[in-house]
Amino acid sequence: MKAIPMADQSPIVTKTVELCQTILDQPAYQNLKKDILAFLEDQDARRVYEKLCDMQEELHGKQHAGQQVTEEEFEAFQSVEKEFLAMPVATKFIEAQRQMQKIEETVSTYVRRTFELGRVPDEDDMPSSGGCGSGCGCHG
C-alpha cells in the first residue's frame, strides 16, 4: 500500500495511521499474525477448513431454501468440524481471528462512543462486556 504524503493527510488520518502502527507494534499482534500465517502455510489445515466452509455453505443454502438437512449430512459436517478443531494450528488460527476482531470492535466502540458523547469516553462509558481482553496491548 502506498503511503499518503503527510502534507495530504488530515489530522484524523494522521492519528488513524499512528493507531494502526501502534497496533502493529504490539507483541500480542505479532503473536496473532504468527498464528494466522502458520495456518495459511499448513496445506492440510487449509484444505479441511475449505471443506468445512463449503459444507457449511451447502447446509445453510439447503436450510434457507426450506430443504431438510439429513442426519447423514449433519454428521458429515460434524466429522469434518471435529477433524479441523483437532488441529492445533486451526484452533490457534480461530483464536487469533477472534482476538483481532475484539481489537477492531474495541476501536470501533471507542470511536462510536466519542461521537455519541461528544468527548473521549472513559472506562465507565464503555460496555462492561466489551473490550479486547488482556494481551491486546490497548490496556495501560
Q: What is the pLDDT of residues 102-132, one digit of tens each?
A: 999 999 999 999 999 999 999 898 887 544 4
Residue-wise pLDDT for 90-110, tens only, equals 999 999 999 999 999 999 999
Note the pTM of the prediction, 2 decimals: 0.73
Query: Residues 79, 112: one domain?
Result: no
The distance in angstroms from the start CA to the end CA of the chain is: 30
**Any domain includes 99:** yes
Mean pLDDT, all residues of the chain: 88
Single-letter code of the amino acid located at 11 = P
Query: Residues 76, 97: one domain?
Result: no
Could you count the other beta carbons within 10 Å of the beta carbon of residue 29?
Answer: 19
The two counts, helices (H) then strands (E), for the chain are 5, 0
The helix, strand and coil proportions of the chain, stated in percent and rounded to the nearest 5, come to: 75, 0, 25
Structural domain containing residue 110: 88-133
Residue (of 44, 46, 135, 139) closest to 96 by Cα position = 135
Query: Residues 100, 123: one domain?
Result: yes
Query: Residues 77, 101: one domain?
Result: no
Quote the number of domains for the chain.
Answer: 2
Query: Residues 96, 79: one domain?
Result: no
Query: Residues 59, 96: one domain?
Result: no
